[in-house]
């Protein structure tokens, strides 16, 4: 293999990255304020929610990443600082300034991310008292604590890191993410932070991160709802000592592959822990006319409540898959479509071909669907473009969690 998974890897596995994670009081218990810090100047690239009601921390971070040198990220869980009006912006600016001061940085070097309850003012006393504690807690071993600190009601922390060699130098890429959690009133926010000690040209990093995001975070879905706070950020501080990775670097593909792997792993861990999820659903869309068609086809299948409930019920209801392909907007001729259901154990059954269901054995399909990893292979027989996407089933628990019974 070209790169190795680091056992116990985290967002501080890469050289020169520190994390501090404390319980400040945004949540009743558990860590809820995190500072991620880089010793050296970084190249930064990010992707943010396209939601028009984007929260103040998103607007501010978007600006900061544009400027260039992100040295720290201040992240709180338990309050999203969304739909909080002008005060929300002022509170975000004040938090940023306080963190910058405590870290001896300029405000424009500190990015922000918030997740949790919306429409409730950010409790500034909690924030102001928490910041120095989080700074005091900064350390190179605290990645796992950071992954815990950004959780809302995620059932498990999400972190992953790999090691590779570039220019004879040991390069590390590590990251943490959080997914769909529930606070009342809530929304499911996706946050992901990836750090690397590789030296990467800032413009080139933006380019490759944009591509990686398209194939990973933008190909996962829990319920099709895009939050006001979604943030993905990649920071590279160059401490590995490799020659700066750019378009001309001979090992650029290896780096991209490793960066892709870390982000794919984090993205998949988010849907695996989707609200009420009992099964990971993977769609492999192949032989479409173009990448965009393959992607919208995969997303339509993954977003279909009818497909999601069928998988939950372990019902091989392929008609719903064909139906969702049909309204996806992707171009294909039904007579060319081949559909295969498979699982994580390597079992697979072709259920549809040449415009007709095949003569498959229903019992085999039912057996196959008992696995917790279901793979739907859609071949459009219409070109050479492919895409993969990931989602989860729709269960009673999704309804229960999101129905927010207060009694």
Stretch that binds its own copies, among 165-173, 205-213, 235-243, 390-398 (CB under 8 A): 390-398
359 forms part of the interface with its own copies (CB under 8 A):
no
The CB-of-324 to its own copies minimum distance in angstroms stands at 7
Geometric angle at alpha carbon 95, from 92 and 99, rounded to 5°? 140
Neighbours of 5 (CB within 10 A): 14
Closest to its own copies by CB, 228 vs 231, is: 228
For residues 298 and 285, give the distance between their C-alpha atoms in angstroms, rounded to a whole number: 6
Q: Which of 35, 33, 83 lies closest to 55, judged by CA?
A: 83
Least separation in angstroms between CB 341 and its own copies: 13
3-state DSSP of 321-363: HHHHHHHHCCCCCHHHCEEEEEECCCCEEEEEECCEECCCCHH
- C-alpha distances in angstroms, 8 versus 144, 162, 247, 260? 9, 10, 32, 19
Based on CB atoms, which residue is closest to its own copies, 250 or 305?
Answer: 305
Q: Do the beta carbons of residue 113 and residue 191 sit within 8 Å?
A: yes
Contact characters 161-190, its own copies, x per CB under 8 A: -----------------------xxxxx--
Q: How far is the CB of 47 from its own copies (least distance, A)?
A: 15
| Distance, CA of 76 to CA of 356 (rounded, Å) | 52
Nearest to 192 by CA among 224, 158, 226: 158
Smallest CA-to-CA distance from 227 within 90, 85, 81 is with: 81
Q: Would you say 1 or 363 has its CB closer to its own copies?
A: 363
Known catalytic residue: 189?
yes
Q: Map residues 94-133 to x or -, x wherever contact with its own copies holds by CB under 8 A.
A: ------------------------xx--------------
Total site size for its own copies, rule CB under 8 A: 68
Site for its own copies in 26-65 (CB under 8 A): 49-54
Catalytic center residues: 189
- Residue ranges in contact with its own copies by CB under 8 A: 49-54, 82-86, 118-119, 184-188, 223-228, 303-306, 309-310, 312-313, 315-320, 322-328, 330-332, 334-335, 352, 354-357, 366, 394-396, 398-406
């Amino acid at each position: 293999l070209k790169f190795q998974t680091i056992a116990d890897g985290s967002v501080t596995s890469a050289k020169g990255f520190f994390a501090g994670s404390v319980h400040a009081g945004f949540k009743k218990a558990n860590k809820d304020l995190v500072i991620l810090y880089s010793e050296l100047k970084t190249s930064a690239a990010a992707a943010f929610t396209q939601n028009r009601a984007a929260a103040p921390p998103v607007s501010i971070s978007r600006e900061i990443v544009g400027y260039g040198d992100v040295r720290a990220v201040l992240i709180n869980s338990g309050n999203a600082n969304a739909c909080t009006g002008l005060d929300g912006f002022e509170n975000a600016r004040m938090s940023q300034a306080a963190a910058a001061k405590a870290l001896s940085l300029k405000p424009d070097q500190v990015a922000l991310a918030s997740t949790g309850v919306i429409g409730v003012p950010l409790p500034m006393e909690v924030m102001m008292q928490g910041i120095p504690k989080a700074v005091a807690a900064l350390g190179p071993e605290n990645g796992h604590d950071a992954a815990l600190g950004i959780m809302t009601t995620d059932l498990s922390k999400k972190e992953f890191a790999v090691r590779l060699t570039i220019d004879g130098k040991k390069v590390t890429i590590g990251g943490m993410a959080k997914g769909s959690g529930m606070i009342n009133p809530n929304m499911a926010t996706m946050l992901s932070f990836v750090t690397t000690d590789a030296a990467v040209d800032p413009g080139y990093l933006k380019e490759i991160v944009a591509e990686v995001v398209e194939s990973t975070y933008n190909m996962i879905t829990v319920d099709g709802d895009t939050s006001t706070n979604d943030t993905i950020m990649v920071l590279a501080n160059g401490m590995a000592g490799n020659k700066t990775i750019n378009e001309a670097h001979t090992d650029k593909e290896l780096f991209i592959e490793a960066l892709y792997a870390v982000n794919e792993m984090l993205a998949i861990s988010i849907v695996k822990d989707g609200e009420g999820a009992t099964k990971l659903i993977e769609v492999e869309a192949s032989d479409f006319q173009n990448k965009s068609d393959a992607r919208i086809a995969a997303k339509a299948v993954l977003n279909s409540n009818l497909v999601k409930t069928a998988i939950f019920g372990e019902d091989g209801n392929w008609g719903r898959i064909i139906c969702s392909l049909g309204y996806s907007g992707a171009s294909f001729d039904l007579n060319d479509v081949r559909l295969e259901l498979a699982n994580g154990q390597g079992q697979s059954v072709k259920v549809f071909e040449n415009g007709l269901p095949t003569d498959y054995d229903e019992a085999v399909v039912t057996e196959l669907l008992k696995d917790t990893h279901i793979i739907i292979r859609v071949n459009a027989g219409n070109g050479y473009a492919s895409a993969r996407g990931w989602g989860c089933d729709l269960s009673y628990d999704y309804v229960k969690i999101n129905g927010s019974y207060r009694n």
